[in-house]
């Protein structure tokens, strides 16, 4: 263990101080270093070429914001011991450790029904054993089992450091300036009342901006129709690869990717077979891209066409609708694609996807944002804001996507 302090230069926040000891040991741990090989925004660089930053950069940014939040809360008389400070800083550093490459794609294909949050906990437990229980408090805070509940809110809540970093960072790297939030101002306005995070009334406009920016970033960036279509292509490619592997067809893959292609991993298997976690931590973006490059010349026309499209940015065409896609439209496309690529209608299914996405930007039932006034009274942001239409932000917006192979 080293007690030497390190400084990292971050393009978003400038210099980040990393104290020696436990926190530095976490940052240099192989499980956290794996996140340097996983992009934060998955396939979004297909629309925003600057979106090349990694989950490791995001974890460091969230760590920096957490340090700032602890300093602010302490100046307002909220007791946070050094041990609690280390615990909550460790929790935010490790909050994304269970992400795989293109994590939501993996959850749909190779690692079925096991979420990255569940894997994060498994990996924390593993690190905790190695570190002789030094992560006990971090895990307690992460699971919301610690008496000071506001510490968990800083890791996972409406105004957690995870959200404050990724909105600011993703806005910076995509160049979508409307998503830029005043994270420093929000942190300056933070306080605690009755073990619950609150925002001073002076910070109400920063919160309004935060909620509006979040809505914009979701629909304009994270759920951009081209990114959705590109992701559907990757899901189809991996699903097809898994189908071929199930038939015993030989496919190029790294040992870790091969494990998930040639074995059916359900939650029960993932938790009972230690090989699952061992192989999972060997997976990163490189495994997927290398496989796709090789598959682009595979004799299976479905796999090679999809892989080629991903490598050369020949993306599915995509249409959006506020109504479900009709069966007639899907059947028409399946007929055209099977004819065009000279494949069966069953195989053409890989070239048509109809995902639907439902999202709201603020759910008061989930974890309301409370505004505190000088007289100590508290109002929910929905009542306190005279500008925001909270009912609009709380309303679930549902979009239906029709993604399909372009027919030239």
- The DSSP code sequence of 326-373 is PHHHHHHHHHHHHHHHT--HHHHGGGEE--EEEE-S--HHHHPPEEE-
Q: What is the pLDDT of residue 362?
A: 61
Distances (CA, A) of 311 to 228, 258, 315, 348: 16, 20, 10, 20
Per the CB < 8 A criterion, the answer to whether 304 and 297 are in contact is yes
Residues 261, 186 share a domain? no
* pTM exceeds 0.85 for this model: yes
Q: Does residue 378 lie within any of the structural domains?
A: no
d(CA 167, CA 239): 31
Rounded average pLDDT per 10-residue block, the chain, 408 residues: 80 96 96 98 96 98 98 98 98 97 88 92 97 98 97 95 97 93 96 96 92 89 95 97 98 98 95 96 98 98 98 96 95 97 97 89 68 94 74 75 90
Q: What is the pLDDT of residue 398?
A: 87
Residues 189, 257 share a domain? no
Q: What is the pLDDT of residue 107?
A: 85
Q: What is the CATH number of the domain that holds 147?
A: 1.10.3210.10
DSSP 54-80: BHHHHHHHHHHHHHHHHHHHHHTT---
Domain that holds residue 236: 225-357
Residues 52, 198 share a domain? yes
Q: Which residues contact 248 (CB under 8 A, 6 or more apart)?
A: none
Number of domains the chain is built from: 2
Residues 235, 217 share a domain? no
Residues 253, 216 share a domain? no
d(CA 89, CA 142): 10
Residues 144, 54 share a domain? yes
Residues 353, 212 share a domain? no
Q: What is the pLDDT of residue 390?
A: 62
Closest Cα partner for 144 from 160, 167, 164, 166?
Answer: 160
Q: Choose one of 204, 222, 240: the last residue of a domain.
A: 222
Residues 206, 67 share a domain? yes
Q: Does residue 86 lie within any of the structural domains?
A: yes
């Amino acid at each position: 263990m080293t007690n030497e302090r390190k400084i990292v230069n971050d393009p978003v926040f400038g210099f980040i101080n990393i104290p020696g000891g436990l926190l530095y040991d976490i940052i240099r741990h192989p499980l956290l270093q794996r996140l340097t090989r996983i992009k934060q925004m998955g396939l979004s660089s297909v629309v925003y070429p600057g979106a090349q930053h990694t989950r490791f950069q995001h974890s460091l940014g969230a760590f920096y914001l957490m340090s700032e939040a602890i300093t602010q809360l302490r100046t307002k008389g909220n007791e946070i011991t050094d041990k609690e400070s280390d615990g909550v800083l460790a929790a935010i550093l490790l909050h994304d450790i269970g992400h795989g490459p293109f994590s939501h794609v993996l959850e749909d294909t190779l690692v079925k029904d096991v979420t990255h949050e569940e894997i994060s906990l498994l990996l924390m437990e593993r690190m905790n054993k190695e570190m002789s229980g030094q992560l006990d408090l971090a895990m307690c805070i992460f699971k919301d089992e610690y008496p000071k509940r506001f510490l968990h809110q800083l890791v996972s809540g409406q105004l957690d450091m995870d959200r404050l970093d990724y909105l600011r960072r993703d806005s910076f790297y995509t160049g979508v300036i409307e998503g830029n939030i005043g994270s420093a101002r929000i942190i300056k306005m933070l306080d605690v009342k009755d073990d619950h995070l609150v925002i001073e009334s002076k910070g109400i406009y920063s919160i309004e901006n935060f909620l509006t920016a979040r809505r914009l970033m979701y629909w304009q960036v994270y759920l951009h129709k081209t990114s959705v279509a590109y992701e559907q292509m990757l899901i189809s490619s991996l699903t097809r690869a898994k189908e071929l592997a199930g038939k015993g067809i030989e496919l190029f893959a790294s040992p870790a990717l091969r494990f998930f292609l040639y074995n059916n991993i359900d939650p029960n298997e993932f938790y009972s077979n230690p090989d699952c976690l061992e192989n999972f931590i060997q997976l990163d973006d490189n495994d997927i891209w290398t496989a796709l490059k090789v598959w682009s010349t595979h004799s299976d026309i479905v796999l090679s066409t999809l892989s080629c499209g991903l490598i050369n940015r020949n993306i599915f065409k995509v249409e959006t609708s506020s109504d479900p896609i009709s069966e007639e439209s899907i059947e028409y496309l399946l007929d055209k694609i099977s004819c065009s690529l000279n494949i069966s209608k069953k195989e053409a299914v890989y070239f048509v996807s109809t995902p639907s996405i439902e999202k709201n930007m603020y759910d008061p039932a989930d974890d309301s944002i409370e505004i505190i006034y000088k007289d100590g009274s508290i109002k929910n942001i929905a009542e306190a804001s005279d500008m925001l239409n909270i009912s609009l932000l709380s309303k679930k917006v549902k979009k239906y996507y029709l993604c399909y192979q372009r027919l030239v």
